[in-house]
Amino acid sequence: MRILLTNDDGIHAPGLQSLERIAAALSDDVWVVAPEYEQSGASRALTLADPLRVRKIDARRFAVEGTPTDCVALAFQELVEGARPDLVLSGVNRGQNLAEDVTLSGTVAGAIEGMVLGVPAIALSQAMTYFADEVVAHWETAEHFAPGIIRRLLEVGWPSDVVMNVNFPPIPPERVDAVEVTRQGFRDSHLRRIEKRTDLRGRDYYWTGFTAKPSNPPEGTDLKAVYEGRISVTPLHIDLTHNATVAALKGVLGGAPPKLAPKPESSQEPGL
């Protein structure tokens, strides 16, 4: 099995090193094509107005000055020699990719590009524990469980228009007691934070980030599983159509387009 690895945290990210160890447990034919610089939050961005520069690190390892989507597209079209990859693994992301955040995630986007190109793809993320003075990522949790989960997913298979989104809870491996197949959740609180600061020349600038405040999600969601220490496996697809609204609108917007009302005649006399 030929495996392509990518991520959104960059070629030097510790999560990518974890992913390489995970992939090594599955195959000896592993290729890495990852962003030169961090691309967190890039979603499915594609570089169109600038050239894509590639740094070849070794025979099967490349850094790209672009997004995760760029990396996977380049890997398939230019960088991976010989046969196409059989599997795309994206991650292991530094931090969870749950609920509505999957639409922002470059990690999930890397997997989606693999799916678009016709290859099974899995996004993997390691949730972190936040303390007052440090952030702890238990990479050993992802490394311990990911090979077995990936093998099982490949055995049972999944539809060609679906990617698998796997999130590992922020606890050591010995405390994980279950894997749960979940649906995508939606937070009941807004986590994004924008902080205004001033540089030494008196100019304002802003940092965007997230708070660590947990929401109160219902059972069966990706959020609930990870909050309670379970590994979440969520099948995702990019059809964003809301079918109930489609059905409702067909009764009022179907058929000929509505006619525009005529413009009222001006009461003003023409200018001289």
| Residues placed in the known binding site for a divalent metal cation | 8-9, 40, 93
Q: Which helix (H) or strand (E) holds 68?
A: helix 68-74
Alpha carbons 148 and 26: distance in angstroms, whole number: 9
Per the DSSP assignment, residues forming a β-bridge with 235 are 164
Provide DSSP, 139-169: HHHHHHHHHHHHHHHHHH---TT-EEEEEE-
CA 81 to chain centre: 26
User: How many Cβ atoms are within 10 Å of 46's Cβ, its own excluded?
Assistant: 13
As annotated, the binding site includes 8-9, 40, 93
Q: Which helix (H) or strand (E) holds 177?
A: none
**Residue 262, helix vs strand vs coil:** coil
